Amino acid sequence: MPRRGASPTPSEGEIDIFGSLYPGETDNANGGNGGDDFDFDGLLNGPEPGNDDTDEAFIALQQAASFRKASNLKGRTVKKGGGFQAMGLNSNLLKAITRKGFSVPTPIQRKAIPLILDRKDLVGMARTGSGKTAAFVIPMIEKLRAHSGRFGTRALIMSPSRELAIQTLKVVKEFSRGTDLKCVLLVGGDSLEEQFGYMAANPDIVIATPGRFLHLKVEMSLDLSSIKYVVFDEADRLFEMGFAAQLTEILHALPPSRQSLLFSATLPASLVEFARAGLQDPSLVRLDAEQKVSPDLESAFFSVKGAEKEGSLLHILHDVIKMPVGSPQGANNDSEKGSKKRK
């Protein structure tokens, strides 16, 4: 396996990510399943949970019904065998996916999950709302399976903001239902003392912002050699917010054997250098890189006078989209007071 590149250096502008990561290659950048199937037996802990006939029947019925419904949506067809069941996920995780309301994987999930399960490093380019969080959380839960009695965190997710980290924590908890995996949140604004306690409790998964994680790493002299799975979520925002130095320091403390995933909407030159230094032979999944609006969204343009703008908007919301329009603030209170007076 080739050596990792030198430490990243900051630079500006956008460049061709595929050309930079794979100089001299001209294949398309959509990514694909490469290499032999990976054997997870050495990574999985304990027996497979929820592996009974009732669970399997429940999952099969729910996903079959959802699949039939989704396959005819807007006249489009969905490939047979392209569901979550075809990915070889355990039944407990499939049940959590079904309860979450997922039936057919999104394009980023369909392309990224098999590659991640195959232990490939990955660069994923996808817009917000594409389902990218589930694309890295689902294979992470599949690989970790159960809490490890051996001390040391096994998965690290870097987020650019407190809000995104909290959203990611929610997704992890939803998909890890039925397991004893321990997940902690390390973000600014929360008590350091509590976070020291969280890390001392031997969590399997850490979701953190770079500044706070690096602070705890230094204060607690954390050993990151147990990390097997690291995700840089919304990496372009991580760099925009000035976390390049912290990310590089964290990167150098991680074991070379880890699996690294980087998800980003854009790839500036500095981020490409970081990817070259931190990822080994990454597979590239690039979906709708130039398209920022979902193809499922129907757009329309209305030309109205300025004075009629609010009235027209209310008409569209109430009569066309059929969205419930609430009463003005305080109207309910006034009506309640009036009814009490009449009584």
pLDDT of residue 25: 46
Rounded CA-CA distance 195/218 in Å is: 13
Q: Residue 306 has what pLDDT?
A: 85
Beta bridge partners, 14, equal 268
Residue 105 has a pLDDT of 93
At 316 the pLDDT is 83
Element spanning 206, H or E: strand 205-208
pLDDT at 295: 61
Tell me what pLDDT residue 322 has: 72
Quote the DSSP letter at residue 318.
I
Cα 136 vs. chain centroid, distance in angstroms?
5
Contact 139/43 with Cβ under 8 angstroms?
A: no
- In tens digits, the chain (343 residues) has pLDDT values of 444 444 444 434 444 444 555 555 434 434 444 333 333 333 233 334 444 454 555 555 555 555 544 444 344 333 444 689 899 999 999 999 999 989 899 999 999 999 999 999 999 997 777 889 999 999 999 999 999 888 889 999 999 999 999 999 999 999 999 999 999 999 999 999 999 999 999 999 999 999 999 999 999 999 999 999 999 999 999 999 999 999 999 999 999 999 999 999 888 888 888 998 899 999 999 875 555 555 666 777 788 888 888 888 888 888 877 765 455 444 455 545 555 555 4
Tokens of 321: 């989209």
Q: Which fold has domain 19-42+105-286?
A: Rossmann fold (3.40.50)
- Report which of 319, 247, 278 is spatially closest to residue 122, judged by C-alpha positions: 278
How far apart CA 313 and CA 296 sit, in angstroms, is 22
Within 104-172, strands assigned E span 122-125, 155-158
First-last CA distance in the chain: 82
Q: How far apart are CA 298 and CA 29, in angstroms?
A: 28
Helix (H) or strand (E) holding 3: none
Contact 186, 216 (CB under 8 A): yes
Question: Angle at Cα 22 formed by Cα 108 and Cα 33, nearest 5°?
Answer: 40
Place of tokens 């890295």: 136
DSSP assigned state of 84:
G
Predicted pLDDT at 326: 52
Identity of the amino acid at 37:
D
Smallest CA-to-CA distance from 226 within 149, 337, 174 is with 149
The answer to whether the CB of 189 falls within 8 A of the CB of 224 is: no
Per-domain residue ranges of the chain: 19-42+105-286, 306-342
Pairing status of strand 183-186 against strand 229-232: unpaired
